[in-house]
Every structure is written in structure tokens, then in C-alpha cells.
Amino acid sequence: MLGTILYGAGDVRCEDVPEPKIIHPTDAIIRLSASCICGSDLWPYRGLNEVTSPRAMGHEYCGIVEEVGTAVTSVRPGQFVVGSFCISDNTCPHCRFGFQSSCEQGEFMVGAQAPYARVPLADGTLIATADVPQEDLIPSLLATSDVLGTGWYAADAARVRPGSTVVVVGDGAVGLMGVLAAKQMRAERIIAMSRHKTRQDLALAFGATDIVSERGDAGVARVKELTKGVGADSVLECVGTQEAMTQVLGCVRPGGSIGFVGVPHEVALDGETLFWSQASLQGGPAPVRRFLQHLMDLVLRREIEPGKVFDLTLPLADVAEGYRAMDERRAIKTLLEVA
């Protein structure tokens, strides 16, 4: 079959790879309904994470169960399933505490930019739907696997409440999902920081009430102005750079909360700044599994349409162009047709 392999910075290829097989009795093999490219895939693609050996790319997935190992009891062939990009047993102390992304048996999903993929720990990782969903729901169900789940976690970690004022730093796909999540959590004011027209429009469509296009000190000043000098109750960091984290600390009100889900790249937090900010801070890889059933239900009831975040659809064979388009910010997020 075809699969996606990253060889090094700027070098991603669609090529022949072996079909996945059951390795452990807890595995499942799924036939993907669609796949996609994640913003985090761009870190190694841009050479910001070292690539020491060829890497099978893709960690967002949904599809039909083809085969299960002998120990799998909760899903069966023919069912439509979604799983988190973090594999988890869903039974260990961290999973039971709601942090499945720190599962004692945890690992990251790999190789999902392909027609078939192996999902380890299938019982703990996958959730099946009652019926095979309608085709037009596939992009939104795929989004629950990571990008929506991560944006949702950012809002949850930032303690968004009904009536909250929220700032979202980052207008990539995760930031836009953070806007959607804050809206669902009934935030009253959602300020999206973005300087790109298409992303601003999508943020407004997902529920943003204000757009701030300024950055740095000017961005902080604008947020302060919009909040009558107070700052925001909840701030979502969805980038992973020092500039973004500095922005976040400038926008949060004393006693406010920060959810940070951008994978940090050389981000340093100054203890003294943090001390005087009086902000609470929670972040890390999103425990999507905690939210997954709820997010899938919202999609299946057509209450949310996170799939709108995909603004480019390509066949798997053109995966390299999908990476390029996202790298050059010509696309927010690329959906890959794998059938």
C-alpha cells in the first residue's frame, strides 16, 4: 500500500510501505476513511525536530475496523471508530485521572497518513459509533482525533466557563478549534488573535466575537483595551513559541488561567513573571480520549462542524504538496483522501 514517510527536513514522500499487521493481541487494524496533516507534523518537516531515521507520518485517524487482535473486546470488524493521537489503555492511574496522554502504556499513533493503520491498545484507545456515519461527517469526525480534541483541551485547561472572556493566541487549526471549544463552553467574549483574513473569517464562523491583528506589545495593549484594562479570564496558547507565550502572559488577568497546547520549541518561562501574573497554567499533549465521546456526539448530532478547518483536500499521492501548502501557510489544514 501507499504510505507517508518523512526522510528529513522538507523531504516527505508517498511511497510503497508494508501493510500493517496485528503485532500484539490488543491491536486493531483500521481502514481509514480519511487522514490529514497536523501542524505538529510541520516541526520535523521544517527541520526544527531532528529526523534521525525515516519516519512513518500521520497520527489523526478514523475509519472502519478491519481486524482485531485476540484480546480486543470493545470493538469489532465493520465498526466505524475514532481514536486519539495518544494511544492509551484507559485503565491506568493517569488514564483514570483523565490524563490519557500520560498513560503508563502510552505511545503516539504513527503511520496514519495511509489507507490502513495499526492502532495499539484498541480497547482503551478507540470509540465506535452505533452506525457507520454519513460520508459528509467524516472530516469533522477525523478532526475529533486530535485537532479538535487539542483545541478543546486548551479551553478546558484554561478553565473556560459560561460568561468567560477568552483570548486565543494562534490562528492555526488548533487555535481555531480552541475558538469553537470556547464557544461550546459558552464563553461570552472570544478574542482571536490573527492577522490572516481567511483565518479571521473562520474564527468568526467558529464563534469569535473580536479579532486582534496586532502582535507583541501592541497585541497585549489591544486586548487590555477590549477588556477595560482587566485582561482575559482564560488564555489559550496554541503556537509553541516564545513570542506566543509572552503574548499569553501579557493577556491573562491576575487569577486567570492559561491552557497551553502548542508544543514548546525553546520556550522559557520566567519564574518571576509567572509569580506576579498569579495565573494558573496547564498544558501538555491533549488527553483527547477524555473528551472524545462528547466531541463525537456533538459532531454526530451536527451541533458542531470542526471539519470546516480543512481548507485543502488532496489525494494521498500528493501528500508532499499538502505539507508544502501548510508550511507556506497557503492552507490551514490538509485533508488526505486515502481510499
The stretch near Zn ion (CB under 5 A) out of 92-100, 142-150, 262-270, 280-288 is 92-100
CB of 135 to Zn ion, least distance (A): 33
The stretch near Zn ion (CB under 5 A) out of 5-13, 101-109, 174-182, 235-243 is 101-109
Block residue for cell numbers 477568552: 166
Number of residues that bind Zn ion (CB under 5 A): 5
CB of 94 to Zn ion, least distance (A): 5
Interface of this chain with Zn ion, residues 71 to 90, rule: CB under 5 A: 88-89
- Give the DSSP letter string of 4-31: EEEEETTEEEEEE-PPP---STT-EEEE
| Pairing of the two strands 232-237 and 165-169 | parallel
Cα separation of 1 and 247, whole Å?
45
Interface with Zn ion includes 102 (CB under 5 A)?
no
CB of 10 to Zn ion, least distance (A): 36
Residue type, 321: E
Q: Are 153 and 179 in contact (CB under 8 A)?
A: no
CB of 105 to Zn ion, least distance (A): 6
Interface with Zn ion includes 121 (CB under 5 A)?
no
Interface with Zn ion includes 60 (CB under 5 A)?
no
The stretch near Zn ion (CB under 5 A) out of 13-21, 95-103, 159-167, 172-180 is 95-103
Cα separation of 114 and 105, whole Å?
24
Residue type, 98: G
The stretch near Zn ion (CB under 5 A) out of 93-101, 174-182, 246-254, 280-288 is 93-101
Block residue for cell numbers 479551553: 155
- Pick from 95, 109, 202, 292 the residue near Zn ion by CB under 5 A: 95
Q: Which is nearer to Zn ion, 77 or 98 (CB)?
A: 98
Cα separation of 16 and 324, whole Å?
21
Using alpha carbons, list the distances in angstroms from residue 223 to 70, 73, 147, 248, 254: 55, 50, 25, 10, 14
Interface with Zn ion includes 171 (CB under 5 A)?
no
Interface with Zn ion includes 22 (CB under 5 A)?
no
| Pairing of the two strands 210-212 and 232-237 | unpaired
Residues in the chain: 339
Q: Which is nearer to Zn ion, 4 or 90 (CB)?
A: 90
The stretch near Zn ion (CB under 5 A) out of 96-104, 239-247, 259-267, 274-282 is 96-104
- Pick from 22, 42, 51, 92 the residue near Zn ion by CB under 5 A: 92
Interface with Zn ion includes 223 (CB under 5 A)?
no
CB of 97 to Zn ion, least distance (A): 9
CA 281 from centroid of its chain's CA atoms: 19
Q: What element of type H or E holds 93?
A: helix 93-96
CB of 86 to Zn ion, least distance (A): 10
- Give the DSSP letter string of 228-264: TTS-EEEEEE-S-SHHHHHHHHHHEEEEEEEEE-SPP
Could you list the residues that contact Zn ion (CB under 5 A)?
88-89, 92, 95, 103
